[in-house]
Chain A
Amino acid sequence: MTMIFGVPLAVFMGQLMLGLINGAFYALLSLGLAVIFGLLKIINFAHGAQYMLGAFAAMLALEYLGINYWAALLLVPLVVGTFGAVLERLILRRIAHLDHLYGLLLTYGLALIFEGTLINIFGVSGSSYPTPEALQGGLNLGFMFLPTYRAWVLVAALVVCVATWFIIERTRLGAYLRAGTENPALMQAFGVNVPQLITLTYGFGVALAAFAGVLAAPLYPVSPTMGSSLLIVVFAVVVIGGMGSILGAILTGLAMGLIEGLTKVYYPEAANTVIFLVMILVLLLRPSGLFGKEA
């Protein structure tokens, strides 16, 4: 049997595959953060809570309204995204002219409120969301048994990531957005409704988090605290990739998934810390992040 650093090749390949899947997930979540920070300069600490709201909305929709997974995949991001847009309009806008720290504190407070409210109603054990029928079972890849649902998560997350990157970097709408945040006065002079654009962008970022939440629902217990544990890792990914860099968030997310996956084989005790080690290294050697513009 071929061995790679003392681990059979098959096991090694399996771990790489899992790392890639987790990485796609990190990419999707950090992408939302990067869009919101890159374009609006808001450090969205409510991102984890919004991801959790996505999973919860999917579960409640199934339980009480009979809305299935596929419909939820479309509807939940819309609903939660709209909710995010309302938050931006009513609350976040009032502090847009202040230092970033105020936004961080405000969104953190909102996250705690969402989490606390749901803990009060549903408890912390969470409940399980059934895997949609079409995606049950698994594929035998020869080197591992891959549950179909995980393969689907990989594909769906990558498609959404690439589409988002394309919209922001390659379309006219994306150009408006980037210009609007660079020089809002000038854009408004050209007749573009910049405040509306900002509301929509925040809503879009939140919708991405909610989409990730729906994808996660069949994988992990749907519980009010599911977002807070993930948020820190995702922030580390964004910092490594370079705050606000969209391509950076996607590529770093994938890379961190792989690095974490390999750590789980060779030194599992450090699996939760390895990303932060990378973050420290990057901050020491390249403070603006791997893909960030030099400040």
Chain B
Amino acid sequence: MTFNRKTLASSIALAAATLVAGSAQAQMSDDAVRIGYLADMSGTYRDLAGPGGLEALKMAVEDIGGEVNGVPIEVFSADDRNSADVGANTVRGWVDQENVDLVAGMVASSVSIAVSKVLEEAGSLAIISGSAASSITNEHCTPNHLHWVYDTYPLANGTAKAVVDQGGDTWFMLTADYAFGHALEADVSEVVEANGGEIVGGVRHPFPTNDFSSYILQAQGSGAKIVGLANAGSDTVNAIKTASQFGLTQTGQQLAGLLIFLNDVHAMGLESTQGLLLTTGWYWDMDELSREWAERYFERVGRMPTMVQAGVYSSTMHYLNAVQAAGTDESQAVRAQMAETPVEDFFARNGRIREDGRMVHDMYLAEVKSPDESTGEWDLYEIKSTIPAEEAYRPLAESQCKLVQN
């Protein structure tokens, strides 16, 4: 390559011009905004995020016109297979070779934590929609990721508190024997005891477990009014189905599901889930705005969206709007712009992004309908009450996040 004085001078001039230029075009990092969607596309968590979440993301990109600040938006996707290694390596490749600006989706908490560490070094941004662990914006917070839909704190705080308030003051905990289950069990126990209830027993079952009959029998023998399910996915589904077969609810005990998604209830059917209390970040039928978006999603996917899939759309849209408003895709400028703008859309009410990266918004206490009350395949929840955004999540005063000044 010939490299004479003239080209050197002109490239310096060009670089200088780029730096001082005020035009939005010049501040985009390259010729496109690139979004990578990372999620479990084939395993246990496929139905709550998976290909449906990717479709939601594409909807957001289409709705904004396929381009922002004059550059096109490109979408990548990959299956993390619920492995932190696979997820981190995929994202490293994305930022190194493809200049990906935003990573979206993400379900297994271990994957999200690993990915956020990669991005903290690389400088891109992540918005986590699927993960549960509240530690993601507590001890694991970084300037490079946001947590959008829900976490274990409001799950425990919403459902457990409501159940104790209704008189369910003795609990038997059915806990998945790994980090997430233990964390949820701890959060729930704290809430139950703080509200005057008592944990009278519990069992930690292996993850995953197919047959829950033995544990249900132990729960029946415990005499507790409430059987709390500190597990997720197929474990929760199996536990609830078995409880129904053994007549747990007929004998006066009640189940409290702590992490339950729309697809779980749909899979189990209303016969075995009716009356179940749960906390959710969003429900497709909760109001006109939500229904409108959900119907559009349904047309494309053939299933109603879970709160995670709706959250992927909402967060991607908020991100793209911020890129537009800030006139740049530089991650910290976009993050600041996102935090400045209240989040108010079909998904989030009274939403705002805190300095720890947590997007706090109204959460809902829902009850699963009985087969008689339900008017259709996806008519599954009744929203009982709203948990205001500022009460739902762990207060910043208790935060261990390095970005929060306490």
Contact = CB atoms under 8 A, between A and B. Distances in A.
B210 A220 contact: yes
A150 B216 CA distance: 14
Interface in B337-396: none
B234 A221 contact: yes
Given A147-B247, A220-B238, A269 B204 contact: yes
Interface of A: 8, 10-11, 14-15, 18-19, 21-22, 116, 119, 123-128, 130-131, 138, 144-145, 147, 149-150, 219-221, 223, 225-226, 229-230, 261, 264-265, 268-273
Given A125-B264, A125-B266, A147-B246, A11 B206 contact: no
B245 interface: yes
Given A128-B269, A145-B246, A221-B238, A18 B206 contact: no
Given A119-B42, A124-B43, A124-B46, A269 B206 contact: yes
Given A8-B221, A125-B47, A138-B247, A230 B214 contact: no
A250 to B, nearest CB: 19
Nearest to A131: B245
A123 to B, nearest CB: 5
A25 to B, nearest CB: 9
Interface of B: 42-44, 46-47, 50, 177, 203-206, 208-211, 213-215, 217-218, 220-221, 234, 237-238, 241, 245-247, 251, 263-264, 266-269, 271-272
A279 B335 CA distance: 55
Given A22-B211, A268-B203, A126 B267 contact: yes
Nearest to B174: A268
A229 B210 contact: yes
A264 B213 CA distance: 10
Contacts of B44: 124, 225
B208 to A, nearest CB: 7
Given A119-B46, A230-B210, A269-B206, A11 B221 contact: yes
A272 B178 CA distance: 14
A269 B251 CA distance: 27
B218 A265 contact: yes
A70 B214 CA distance: 27
Contacts of B221: 8, 10-11
Contact of B272 (A125, A128, A138, A271): A128
Nearest to A128: B269
B247 A128 contact: no
B217 A271 contact: no
A274 to B, nearest CB: 10
A8 B205 CA distance: 21
A127 B211 CA distance: 16
Given A18-B214, A269-B204, A221 B46 contact: no
A57 to B, nearest CB: 18
